[in-house]
């Protein structure tokens, strides 16, 4: 990402308030319903709704985003709910996690140049990666807002970019406001 990306997201989030936090993503709740809470990492967390949902479920959460403005809003909302989350402002192009997460989640962000290495380095053995982002069919929607198909998952991408994970579930789903590709995978011992 670039400083222009940081400025763009800071500008977008500066028009929001801590009361405009979006709802938790349903796919996240499906991914974690049978997992024992441990350490979780929410990548490109935005306004932190998924990080807060995980914290409410008993997870110890680190949440990373490029926008300090978004993180400040998320932190304010989390404090009002009595939640403790470690908010980290970082550019994922240059951020490396320690290998200590039982769960890594990522929603609506796609960068195959950085995400696979972060997931591979950040997951514990038997850790789960839960991912949802735009599928290639998003480009066919009348209400599509994306300008470039490079921000969508193409058929075969999960196999190509995440071969180190055992697939738990992979699907394409049409939601009311977007078409998504969903993936959950387990890091097994090699």
- Which residues have CB under 8 Å from 10's CB, separation 6+? 67, 68, 69, 70
C-alpha 104/C-alpha 184 separation (Å) is 10
Q: Which CATH class is domain 23-187?
A: alpha beta
Lowest mean pLDDT of 3-17, 83-97, 167-181, name the range: 3-17
C-alpha 180/C-alpha 137 separation (Å) is 8
Measured in whole angstroms, the distance separating CA 179 from the mean position of its chain's CA atoms is 16
Of 129, 26, 16, nearest to 73 (Cα)?
16
Identify the residue with better confidence: 13 or 145.
Answer: 145
> Residue 155 to residues 68, 90, 142: CA-CA distances in angstroms?
34, 30, 21
Structural domain boundaries of the chain?
Answer: 23-187
- Which residues have CB under 8 Å from 190's CB, separation 6+? 164
Say if residue 18's pLDDT is above 70.
no
Q: What is the pTM of this model?
A: 0.91
pLDDT tens per residue, range 98-131:
879 999 999 999 999 999 999 999 999 999 999 9
User: Encoding tokens for residue 152?
Assistant: 């969508």
Lowest mean pLDDT of 16-20, 109-113, 122-126, 175-179, name the range: 16-20
pLDDT tens per residue, range 60-103:
999 999 999 999 999 999 999 999 999 999 999 999 898 799 99
């Amino acid at each position: 990402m670039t400083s222009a990306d940081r400025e763009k997201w800071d500008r977008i989030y500066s028009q929001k308030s801590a009361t405009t936090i979006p709802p938790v993503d349903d796919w996240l709740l499906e991914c974690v319903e049978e997992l024992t809470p441990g350490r979780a990492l929410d990548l490109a967390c935005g306004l932190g709704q998924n990080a807060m949902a995980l914290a409410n479920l008993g997870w110890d959460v680190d949440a990373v985003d490029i926008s300090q403005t978004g993180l400040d809003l998320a932190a304010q909302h989390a404090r009002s709910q009595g939640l403790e989350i470690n908010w980290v402002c970082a550019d994922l192009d240059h951020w490396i996690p320690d290998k200590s997460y039982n769960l890594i989640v990522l929603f609506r962000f796609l960068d195959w140049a950085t995400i696979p290495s972060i997931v591979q380095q950040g997951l514990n053995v038997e850790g789960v990666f839960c991912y949802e982002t735009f599928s290639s069919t998003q480009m066919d929607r009348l209400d599509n807002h994306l300008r470039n198909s490079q921000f969508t998952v193409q058929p075969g991408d999960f196999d190509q970019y995440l071969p180190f994970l055992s697939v738990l579930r992979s699907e394409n789903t049409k939601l009311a406001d977007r078409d998504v590709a969903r993936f959950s995978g387990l890091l097994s011992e090699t």
